[in-house]
Amino acid sequence: MAQVFNTGETVRAHQKSGTYIGKIIQDRGEQYLVEVLAVEKHPLQGDIHNYGQTEGVFFHERKALAPHEKMNVKKAAVHPYEGAIPDYGPSLKQAVEDLKNKLSKKDTPFNHKALQTLENLEQTVYHQLYYT
């Protein structure tokens, strides 16, 4: 059974392939509406149904959810969060670095493509967010 949270509580929420720190905005029965405050784990790149493949699949570019974006999260994917809430920009930068480091450890076509996708996101979208 999922833990019960109250409106305003700070939580760790897993959405698709990313993990965020956020605030409960509303209980919606089977889900919570959560406002994104920081990024803990950047979403994976590529086709999550065929992870690790680059041939014959659509290689998705997945962006992290934006600061203060609202997301519906199944209650089972919401967990307590203790501690200080990091600022969004630095948390995003750290999450991207963590994923890049993980991808850099193994020399595969998939990891090269995922790294290239992340670097493109950094240049086109994230650079401004890192310092806000």
> Would you give per-residue pLDDT tens digits along the chain (132 residues)?
678 999 999 999 999 889 999 999 999 999 999 999 999 999 988 766 666 666 665 677 889 999 999 999 999 999 999 999 999 999 999 999 999 999 999 999 889 989 999 999 999 999 888 876
β-sheet with 10-15: strand ranges across: 70-74, 31-41, 18-28, 10-15, 78-80
Q: Distance between CA 15 and CA 64 in Å, rounded?
A: 10
Residue 68 lies in a domain: yes
Residue 124 lies in a domain: yes
Residue 39 lies in a domain: yes
Residue 118 lies in a domain: yes
Residue linked to tokens 């089977």: 30
Domain count, the chain: 1
Residue 46 lies in a domain: yes
Residue 110, pLDDT score: 86
C-beta separation of 92 from 122 below 8 A: no
Residue 110 lies in a domain: yes
Q: Distance between CA 18 and CA 12 in Å, rounded?
A: 11
Q: Give 42's strand partners.
A: none
Residue 53, pLDDT score: 60
CATH number for the domain that contains residue 30: 2.30.30.430
Q: Which domain holds residue 19?
A: 10-130
Which has the closest alpha carbon to 39: 104, 5, 89, 101?
89
Residue 76 lies in a domain: yes
Residue 104, pLDDT score: 94
The one-letter code for the residue type at 72 is: N
The one-letter code for the residue type at 89 is: G
Residue 5 lies in a domain: no
